[in-house]
Structure 1
């Protein structure tokens, strides 16, 4: 028996599709068969499975488990919860060899997909293509696996709370924090967590609803933080934290309602961590502000700029032994006293801990950051066949230019006297991404003009903004 996936479903970092159009139960079953077979052939026998709050998730879970057990692999079902709870179930148990979370992440309600961990490492790129090849060939093991159900939520919450160990209760008792779960899968975990945290906590939208009736759960879009901003203002709270649909990306605002972007959060986490681990390597993606890299250096750390993509960052952390990494998109990875995966709930607790240890409020920490003028991430449609070629053309032209410093880690990041600009191809869509940062409005205009000049030389222009 063989199976062919829709050509759009097996992607660089995850598997995702539109329910009823490109993704359904048969796909989930085939993914289970392929993943289970690979686990068996690597000497493993147990896979943990979790799912998010989307309407289609239980149906996909049922078929995925069927596929996994048909290869002889045993399955530990951990039920509905945030993606990091599934990562925890995989990382904390010695008898688990892999994990799959069914999640549509921050995509629209009719999407769904799968995030996977294989023997403690991210499963992406060539791994995902291998599932397609195995399905085409019907290259699957046959066996009979067993299924067990385990509630890991309380253990997961207890483990996260260890982030506050060693901090005096008195330093935390006056804390007042707002939280917005956005009707995503992190809601029930957040309720249990907040009940055990010191201080006063105000929660929004913790009931799980895969139709996202209040706002779309993507905390990197400022409009989605408006309800949290109002809550913080009305209740006069210290700061606010928001999650994406599956709880692996964090958004935050300070007590004055200012957004604390992904790279700014990383500045706070790094300042705290480097007090204990001087000289540590801190990784951020190519979209992060120069202010972050400068701050890491100033606090005695080694900043490392790396490619965008949570799987790529996790792999680089393992390779370099980095205890902390983050992305502009709100993925933050702690490997100092945690497991190295991206967990927005844990990142929320670490923000509380960092503020207490540094002896400054989150608003003070945010206020002390340099005022950099930067563009939002600009995304515009470019034909799939042109997107990587255009970036190569820009690289060639810049190699011949004088007075510019080019970092080609992921696309091109160009440093000039005015600041820096970035142009890179998205790995997940037919989109080019641009961003620029300067100290002055005039400098920013000049940087944008350089981006437009390079695009024009490749017969492209910054068109209408593309969504995620």
Structure 2
């Protein structure tokens, strides 16, 4: 029996042992091989992160992929950006990454690219469910790890530090650890690397840089070592978090502002950002001659919008950064961190002073509330339809974002986990409190058995 909830808007994701058993993964591989062959290609790049279920899933996936004489180009254990990189410069523009990203260690999943386009789990759901049994013993695998060195060299050729800086890295024992350390050493930074060795048990902390509790090691190390800045990565290395020289967390909004200023000085054009981002992001983009474009959350959506608009940059509040100027437009935490380090090395002031120059607003981080996975979208629709939003401007491309002239709030359903996602911002502390109170009062009326204060 297939749990249909594994097929998500961006990818495939679920409990590794329960939802992603060998037979289901093999069927997914067969369906993906058929889609690839229809493009006229017969090869696919394959990588895994360091989760404990990765090798078992990889074996079953290869069995399915090779059932139609598809050749698997094996990258080994790599961060997700390396699979994306391979599809841009390698023998095929098709790739699959076995990863659970920032989900709990028991989870796993697949991120898929076919014919240079991100593939949604929804796109293959029915084909997998309806697939008849098909047996195969064919295995056709080639080693593709030579592309790893090419990835590292290309980053190095794009980034030269203006001066030597001290950088702390914390990949949280995820797949990015060895690669990030090597790249930063190669560009000439003084590197202190924490929790570097990949370990699917994530023994030190969970690799999710969007949560403050996971940045404690990084914050402490930046302070103790008097570093210029620090970076944290998620489990598969496609997201990045940042800490400044005073050991303060740099909000993703400010990261996007830094990058927007930098790249808009080089080329004017659209900058894509997701519905969770600050109002100040669009103002910074406009002030620097760019065209701000708000989009649904999710790497799938941001990538498609970048291709549609030929944007120079895309970004999400979660830490996904998509650089499309002298790079390839995919989300890459390592490359984004290197570019941010380059920007800081070129400043005449330190990072904390630079951040303080941005407009000050009062905002929450991304807040999440655990709910039933099968009910989360209906819950958002119910809230959107039953609340009186008089006096607010509504944006409903992804959940509901309700804005006044001085504040905004957001409720949406996560596409990767069984959670509701919320964020709030005000021009003043009082405006922030006001819009949160509006939300909580209405949320309590509609869902009296759920406690907003239980958010994480």
Coarse TM-score class (shorter-chain normalised): over 0.9
Distance 2:406 2:430 in 1: 9
Describe the superposition over 1:348-394 as per-residue Cα deviations: whole angstroms up to 9, x where unpaired. 11102222445443222222222211122222245566544454455
Equivalent in the alignment of 1:274: 264
Q: Say if 1:401 and 1:379 are closer, same or farther in 2 by CA, change over 3 A.
A: closer
Contact 1:37–1:141 (CA under 8 A) maintained in structure 2: no
Distance 2:123 2:330 in 1: 19
Pairwise mapping of residues 163-178 of structure 1 onto structure 2 (< 5 A)? 163-164=158-159, 167=160, 171-172=162-163, 174-178=164-168
Q: Which runs of 5+ in 2 are unaligned?
A: none
Pairwise mapping of residues 21-420 of structure 1 onto structure 2 (< 5 A)? 21-93=18-90, 95-135=91-131, 137-138=132-133, 146-151=140-145, 152-164=147-159, 167=160, 171-172=162-163, 174-278=164-268, 280-357=269-346, 359-382=348-371, 387-396=376-385, 402-420=390-408
Shift of 1:397: 5.8
Q: Say if 1:29 and 1:388 are closer, same or farther in 2 by CA, change over 3 A.
A: closer
Q: Say if 1:39 and 1:294 are closer, same or farther in 2 by CA, change over 3 A.
A: same
Shift of 1:463: 3.4
Q: Say if 1:387 and 1:310 are closer, same or farther in 2 by CA, change over 3 A.
A: same
Q: Say if 1:396 and 1:385 are closer, same or farther in 2 by CA, change over 3 A.
A: same
Shift of 1:27: 2.4
The ranges of structure 1 where at least 4 consecutive aligned residues each deviate by more than 6 angstroms after the TM superposition are: 140-143
Describe the superposition over 1:193-223 as per-residue Cα deviations: whole angstroms up to 9, x where unpaired. 1331213111111111111111111111111
Name whichever of 221-230 and 375-384 sits farther off: 375-384
Contact 2:169–2:181 (CA under 8 A) maintained in structure 1: no
Shift of 1:175: 0.9
TM-score (norm 2): 0.93
What RMSD in Å do the two structures reach over aligned CA positions? Answer: 2.3
Describe the superposition over 1:56-91 as per-residue Cα deviations: whole angstroms up to 9, x where unpaired. 211211221121111111110011110111111111
TM-score (norm 1): 0.91
Shift of 1:455: 2.2
Name whichever of 363-372 and 234-243 sits farther off: 363-372
Describe the superposition over 1:11-41 as per-residue Cα deviations: whole angstroms up to 9, x where unpaired. 2222122232222222222221110111112
Describe the superposition over 1:171-208 as per-residue Cα deviations: whole angstroms up to 9, x where unpaired. 22x21111112111111212321331213111111111
Contact 1:182–1:205 (CA under 8 A) maintained in structure 2: yes
Q: Say if 1:393 and 1:89 are closer, same or farther in 2 by CA, change over 3 A.
A: same
